[in-house]
Structure 1
Amino acid sequence: MPTYEFRTPDGSIIERIFKISEVPESVELPDGSVATRIISGGAGLLFKGSGFYITDYGKDGKKDQRPAAPASSDSKPAAPPAPKAE
């Protein structure tokens, strides 16, 4: 069930949990005052870790197939392959 935010008469914010179909516009507090519902921005959505792409949007469960980033210009060039011995 989602959490909804309400502003009390003194300006503080409280949270209450309701079913989506039963959200009131205001709630009565134990002291008899009424807190009105405020529309919050919601929580940000963060995708952390390397497994999210692979497990949820990967290509047949394989790792990401994007090419590697080019080497920077200050690094040494790769050594040529060694000749094969016959």
Structure 2
Amino acid sequence: MPTYLYECENCGRFEHFQKITDDPIETCPECGGKVRRIIGSPGIIFKGSGFYVTDSRKKNNKKSSDQEKAS
């Protein structure tokens, strides 16, 4: 699940952890003020393992690639 970046009119910026399918939040959990989702840098933050190509790469793939190059 991604972490979205929001900006409150009163409190400033904060992160909110929610599903991609969830609707954007409209009120600040701290003060109840109006918030807007920040899209851009970084609009959505993916934290944890599994989000990079190298996380899912099998260790034996490198060995088979090296063997093909030697042939």
TM-score range, shorter chain: 0.5 to 0.7
Instruction: State TM-score, norm by structure 2.
Output: 0.52
Which of the two has higher C-alpha Rg?
Answer: 1
Q: 1:6 aligns to what?
A: 6
Q: Segments of 4+ in structure 1 off by > 6 A?
A: none
CA contact (8 A) 1:6 1:26 kept: no
- Tell me the CA shift for residue 60 of structure 1: 1.1
Q: Deviations over 1:27-66 (max 9, x none)?
A: 33332212111113246x989xxxxx88385251649x6x
Which residue identity lines up with residue 58 of structure 1 in the other structure? K
Identity %: 22
Higher relative CO (Cα under 8 Å, sequence separation at least 6) belongs to 2
Q: Deviations over 1:12-33 (max 9, x none)?
A: 2100011000031533333221
Instruction: State TM-score, norm by structure 1.
Output: 0.45
With over 3 angstroms needed to count, the CA separation of the structure-2 counterparts of 1:19 and 1:57, relative to structure 1, is same
Which residue identity lines up with residue 30 of structure 1 in the other structure? E
Instruction: Report how many residues are paired.
Output: 61
With over 3 angstroms needed to count, the CA separation of the structure-2 counterparts of 1:16 and 1:34, relative to structure 1, is same
